[in-house]
Amino acid sequence: MSAREDGIPAHERGVAVVTGGTRGIGKAIAERLRGDGWQVVTLGRTGGDVACDVADPEAVARAFDEIEERWGHVACLVNNAGERRDGLAVRMTHEQFAGVVATNLTGAFNCTQRVLGPMLSARWGRIVNVSSAVALRANPGQANYAAAKAGLLALTRTVAREMGRKGVTCNAVTPGVIATDMTADGVADRLVELVPAGRVGQPEEVAASVAFLCSDDAAYVNGAVLAIDGGLAA
């Protein structure tokens, strides 16, 4: 049910939770949603409004219990928490692979599973998963990151199919080369020449697309993957 049907704007249905919301893309998303009128709660492994390692399901349960107690119903979830541990597949350790998958994919599942029950009860919800262009166009040295981000797209589509009749949408964005501390190690300089737009993207450009997917205007957008990469994966 959209605001057009019951008169309640998206941002008045509850709080928006942004995981990994203390820096980079997550911080920009949190700021944009606040600007759109949402009450935003950020999760971070060592900071944010609530500290939480999203890879730990028990920590996720505790964090969302606290959010509901302090701020109220979660109407919007942005799964942005992520990490990179790059290395060629031939030398990548099990810890490198499993750790990245745990944060980027399992963490998104843990948070999504926790909010689905309340969203179903409310018959309204927005879930947006921040994947990556590497899910569509792989980079050498990122087998773990690419696998996790590609899995996130499959999770997005599956949840969208399961929840489509319940007023809950689940979509994903695939940022390309974005100016954040995750690309400050020179990866942006190496990849920007491959971007048809000829430049590095800004976190605010990702945030604008996420904000749309969280809005009432996106009520009929479900299971979509929106590329924000300057044409990198085209």
Distances (CA, A) of 178 to 64, 150, 174, 220: 29, 18, 11, 28
How would you class 85 by CB atoms within 10 Å of its CB: exposed for 0-12, middle for 13-18, buried for 19 or more? middle
Catalytic residue among 143, 145, 159, 178: 145
**Residues 6+ positions from 122 with CB-CB distance below 8 Å:** 13, 14, 73, 75, 167
The Cα 115–Cα 130 span in angstroms is 17
Structure token digits, residue 129: 């998963």
Least confident among 9-13, 121-125, 181-185, 214-218: 181-185
pLDDT given at position 229? 96
pLDDT at 1 over 60: no
CATH superfamily of 3-228: NAD(P)-binding Rossmann-like Domain (3.40.50.720)
Helices marked H in the chain — which ranges?
3-6, 24-35, 57-70, 94-101, 107-122, 143-163, 187-191, 203-213
The residue extents of the domains of the chain are: 3-228
Q: What is the DSSP letter of 216?
A: G
Encode pLDDT of 109-161 as tens digits.
999 999 999 999 999 999 999 999 999 998 899 999 999 999 999 999 999 99
pLDDT given at position 191? 78
Let me know if 220 is a catalytic residue: no
pTM: 0.94
